[in-house]
């Protein structure tokens, strides 16, 4: 018996020690690989930069230390900042002669694609070439590829060319079945974020605004592609009605979408011919990932002047969260920028559908404080709508992409009421309170008319404040803002005509404008918020890292539509935002 206990103890101890050692070795390997990836990379003469995009693009992508262990190699995440920086470095580097775009399904909204395409166009205009290839182009991928000198496609490939759409998803039927009602208080005929909870179909007003902004995005796509491919917008628009996604690949050559049909394995031969490299010789290439560690060949700034870029991405709430635009955290960061005398201007990059009206007001106030000391320029990403526009409207100057979704100046309140569900479950509640409004926000009963009137009054006052902030920021009248408010969503092109933004452009344009307003000649860039350290990334990603190794990525496609339920504890009932998860296809 003693031997058995000793043997068992020794076995268990051995397993524990082995596990600890393996963990240490594993973490050590991760650190080693990541450390080696930070070493400076040199570009060989006569090189091509390869950009392979087959995944999602966010404003800034943090390093995932578990990505190398994941079995799902098809899932990739890219930072827009890294992509733009890499293209700029390639443009400035004499050893790089061109870019090879390897594209498939690019997970990005139109304004992000437009930002990348404009940077590629700038690269091309410098005298260098771009060649693109895909086995099958998604519509977004083709929009990027169309700027190329040559567009290549697999002889049995296709292009998804069908137009732009936005899908409405309703929870009303589900909520009716479970016995939950949403009590809605809003201002704005077009404030449609509440519609999925109270309607099974889009309202006429919402349908009209979606038709308008999807049409505006489509016109921008058509215009850009027509210019690059020497086609007319009428031709391209007509082709979208022909069901070309099922056409033979030769059709895309005949109609001017594609230049050459070639198998993937033969693309390298074409690239070698372009670079005048012998078939048996090696083609010098450098990846997007490696380009991060190439030192940009520009003189180092010695002025001490800084321009800060602050990335405000995600929904707005009232917390210190790092996953969204946590108002308390953002205000703290912006206060540091305000107090740093070396920072001469702030470029606020906004990519947000909105969120808490209260949180938006707090951020607006801090932007106002910064403006007393230094200029603030806003550059809008895919969204800068509702609360996203709230935090933008006070800037000295505002840039948007033509396909940015912005405006949506309106506010709503949404209070769940589950008395029917409670009755179905056989649960009974009895409330004892000291005053008549003591349980005003209870989900166990409908609100009274008096309670509803109080909340609607609060929403009305919030709307008036929002409109006033916009009018003051844009230096126009309140009535002028109200004419284009009512919660209506506009594209950047529309917003420019309406005076909600100053100019169409991207991050580089905003930086140049900030430099002019600050009246400085030279500067360095500093970015906020600070990215997590590698140790923080490892610790923060342990659970998700394990899930990504063993989990099913398709689950994300289903659960994304219900993310609004996850953060209910931080949900402010008074919201300034556009519809949940508005996806443009």
**How many separate domains does the chain show?**
3
Among 257, 291, 325, where does a domain finish? 291
Reported as a pLDDT band with limits 50, 70 and 90, residue 573 is low
205 in a structural domain:
no
What mean pLDDT comes out for the span 34-48? 75
Of 48-57, 135-144, 470-479, 535-544, minimum mean pLDDT range: 535-544
Arithmetic mean of pLDDT over the chain: 87
- Is residue 204 in some structural domain? no
237 found inside a domain? no
Residue 6 has pLDDT above 80, yes or no: no
- 14-28, 271-285, 486-500 — which one is most confidently predicted on average? 486-500
Same domain, 542 and 409: yes
Residues 427 and 314 in one domain: yes
Q: Is the pLDDT of residue 580 over 70?
A: no
Q: Are residues 561 and 464 in the same domain?
A: yes
Tell whether 35 and 57 lie within a shared domain.
no
Nearest alpha-carbon partner for 175 in 418, 358, 343: 418
Please give the residue that has the higher pLDDT: either 526 or 68.
Answer: 526
pLDDT band of residue 107 (cuts 50, 70, 90) is confident
Q: Is residue 192 part of a domain?
A: no
Q: How confident is the model at residue 61, as a pLDDT? A: 79
The encoded tokens of residue 170 equal 């309703």
- Predicted confidence at residue 415, as pLDDT, reads 92
pLDDT in the model for residue 548: 47
> pLDDT class for 551, splitting at 50, 70, 90?
very low
Residues 517 and 570 in one domain: yes
Residues 409, 334: one domain? yes
Choose between 568 and 533: higher pLDDT: 533
The 10s digit of each residue's pLDDT in 357-411 is: 999 999 999 999 999 999 999 999 999 999 999 999 999 999 999 999 999 999 9
Burial (CB < 10 A; 0-12, 13-18, 19+), residue 297, is: exposed
pTM: 0.86
Q: Can you tell me the distance from the alpha carbon of 520 to that of 518, in angstroms, rounded to the nearest whole number?
A: 6
Q: Which domain holds residue 95?
A: 47-162+243-291
9 and 33 share one domain = yes
At residue 576, the pLDDT reads 74
Final residue in a domain of this structure, among 291, 320, 350: 291
Do you find a cis peptide bond into 529, omega within 30 degrees of 0?
A: yes
Which of 29, 64, 34, 63 lies closest to 547 in space, CA to CA?
A: 64
Instruction: Label residue 241 by pLDDT band (50, 70, 90).
Output: very high
Residues 155 and 262 in one domain: yes
pLDDT band, very low/low/confident/very high, at 536 (cuts 50, 70, 90):
low
Residue 251 shares a structural domain with residue 354: no
CA distance 325 to 315: 6
Q: Rounded mean pLDDT of 13-25?
A: 54
For residues 55-73, average pLDDT: 66
- The answer to whether residue 390 sits within a structural domain is yes
Same domain as 256, residue 150: yes
**Residues designated catalytic:** 191, 386
pLDDT digits (tens, 9 = 90+) for 165-218: 999 999 999 999 999 999 999 998 999 999 999 999 999 999 999 999 999 999
In this predicted structure, the answer to whether residue 65 has a pLDDT above a threshold of 80 is no
Task: Check pLDDT > 90 for residue 128.
Answer: yes
Most confident of 196-200, 566-570, 574-578: 196-200
Length of the chain, please? Answer: 585
56 and 5 in one domain? no
Per-position b or e across 306-338, b if 16+ CB within 10 A of its CB:
bbbbbbbbbbbbbbebeebbbbebbbebbeebb
- In a domain? residue 438: yes
**Lowest mean pLDDT, pick from 155-159, 344-348, 510-514, 550-554:** 550-554
272: CATH: 3.90.226.10
Decide if 336 is inside a domain. yes
Residue 340 confidence (pLDDT): 97
If asked whether residues 418 and 533 sit together in one domain, one would say: yes
The reply to whether 190 falls in a domain is no
For residue 301, what pLDDT is reported?
80
Domain boundary among 266, 291, 316: 291
Distance CA 462, CA 572 (A): 13
pLDDT higher at 439 or 20:
439
What is the arithmetic mean of pLDDT over 439-462?
93
């Amino acid at each position: 018996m003693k031997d058995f206990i000793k043997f068992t103890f020794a076995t268990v101890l051995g397993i524990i020690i082995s596990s600890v050692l393996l963990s240490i070795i594993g973490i050590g390997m991760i650190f080693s690989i990541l450390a080696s990836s930070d070493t400076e990379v040199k570009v060989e003469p006569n090189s091509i930069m390869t950009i392979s995009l087959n995944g999602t693009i966010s404003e800034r992508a943090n390093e995932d230390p578990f990505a190398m262990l994941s079995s799902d190699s098809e899932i990739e995440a890219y930072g827009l900042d890294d992509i733009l920086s890499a293209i700029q470095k390639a443009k400035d580097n004499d050893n790089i002669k061109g870019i090879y775009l390897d594209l498939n399904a690019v997970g990005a909204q139109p304004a992000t694609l437009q930002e990348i395409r404009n940077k590629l166009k700038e690269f091309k205009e410098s005298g260098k070439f771009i060649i693109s290839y895909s086995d099958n182009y998604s519509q977004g991928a083709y929009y990027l590829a169309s700027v190329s000198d040559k567009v290549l496609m697999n002889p049995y490939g296709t292009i998804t060319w069908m137009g732009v759409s936005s899908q409405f998803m309703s929870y009303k039927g589900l909520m009716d079945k479970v016995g939950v009602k949403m009590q809605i208080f809003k201002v704005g005929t077009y404030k449609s974020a509440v519609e999925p909870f109270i309607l099974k179909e889009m309202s006429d007003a919402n349908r009209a605004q979606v038709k308008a902004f999807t049409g505006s995005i489509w016109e921008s796509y058509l215009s850009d592609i027509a210019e690059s491919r020497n086609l007319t917008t009428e031709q391209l628009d007509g082709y979208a009605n022909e069901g070309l996604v099922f056409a033979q690949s030769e059709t895309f050559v005949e109609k001017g979408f594609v230049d050459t049909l070639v198998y993937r394995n033969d693309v390298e031969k074409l690239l070698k011919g372009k670079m005048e490299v012998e078939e048996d010789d090696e083609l010098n290439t450098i990846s997007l990932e490696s380009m991060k560690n190439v030192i940009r060949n520009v003189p180092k700034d010695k002025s001490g002047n800084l321009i800060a870029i602050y990335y405000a991405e995600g929904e707005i709430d009232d917390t210190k969260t790092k996953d969204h635009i946590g108002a308390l955290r953002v205000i703290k960061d912006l206060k540091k920028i305000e107090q740093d005398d070396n920072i001469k201007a702030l470029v606020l990059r906004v990519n947000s559908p909105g969120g808490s009206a209260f949180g938006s007001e707090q951020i607006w106030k801090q932007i106002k404080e910064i403006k007393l000391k230094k200029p603030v320029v806003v550059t809008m990403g895919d969204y800068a709508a509702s609360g996203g526009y709230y935090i933008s409207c006070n800037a000295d100057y505002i840039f948007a992409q033509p396909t940015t979704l912005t405006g949506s100046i309106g506010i709503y309140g949404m209070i769940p009421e589950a008395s029917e569900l409670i009755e179905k479950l056989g649960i009974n509640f009895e409330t004892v309170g000291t005053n008549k409004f003591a349980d005003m926000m209870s989900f166990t009963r409908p609100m009274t008319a008096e309670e509803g009137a109080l909340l609607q009054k609060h929403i009305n006052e919030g709307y008036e404040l929002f409109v006033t902030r916009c009018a003051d920021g844009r230096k126009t009248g309140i009535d002028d803002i109200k004419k284009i408010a009512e919660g209506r969503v506009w594209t950047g092109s529309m917003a420019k005509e309406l005076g909600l933004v100053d100019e169409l452009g991207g991050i580089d344009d905003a930086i140049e404008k900030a430099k002019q307003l600050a009246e400085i000649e030279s500067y360095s860039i500093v970015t906020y918020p600070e990215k997590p350290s590698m140790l923080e990334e490892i610790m923060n990603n342990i659970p998700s890292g394990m899930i990504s190794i063993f989990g099913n990525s398709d689950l994300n496609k289903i659960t994304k539509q219900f993310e609004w339920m996850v953060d209910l504890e931080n949900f402010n009932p008074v919201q300034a935002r556009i519809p949940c998860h508005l996806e443009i296809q």
